[in-house]
Amino acid sequence: MEEDLRRYFSAPMWTEDEARGQNPLVLAYIGDCVYELFIRSEILHRNEKVARLHRASAKRAKASAQSALAEDLKDFFTEEEAAIFKRGRNTHQKTMAKHASVADYRNATGFECLIGYLYTSGQSERLRTYFTEIERIWEDEC
C-alpha cells in the first residue's frame, strides 16, 4: 500500500529547471496544499474537536500569518529561493482574499510559491529545514 501512495505523493515532479519555469500560481497552488498538510499534521496531536483543530489550522494558514512567516524567513532564503518568492509575490492575480491586505495576500502567494517549488523539485531536505524553522518560530510565539 505504501508503495502505491508514493506514486501520488512523491516529489520530484519536475527538475529544478522545470519547476522554476512553471507559472508561479501553479507552484503556489501545490504549495498551499503542502503547507496546509504540514499545519494539520502539526496540530493533529491535540486531543480536540475538529472545529477547534480547524480554527487552529486556519489561524496558521491565513494570508497574514503566511506573510509574517515569509518576513521572518526572508534572511533564510537562498538567492534562488528569494527569486522564486518574488516571482510568486509579484505575479498578477485575478482574485484577492476577503480578509487580507493586498500586501499580505501577495506575500502569502510568494511563500506558497516557494513551498511549491521546493516540493515539486524534490528538495525535501530544504523543505524539512523550513518546516523545522517554522516550528521554532511558532514555539517562540507561545
Is 32 a catalytic site residue?
yes
Helix (H, G, I), strand (E, B) or coil at 79: helix
Q: Which of 32, 72, 75, 104 is labelled catalytic?
A: 32
The H helix count followed by the E strand count for the chain is 8, 0
What type of residue sits at position 48? E
What is the number of other CB atoms lying within 10 angstroms of the CB of residue 125? 8
What is the number of other CB atoms lying within 10 angstroms of the CB of residue 61? 17
Catalytic residues: 32
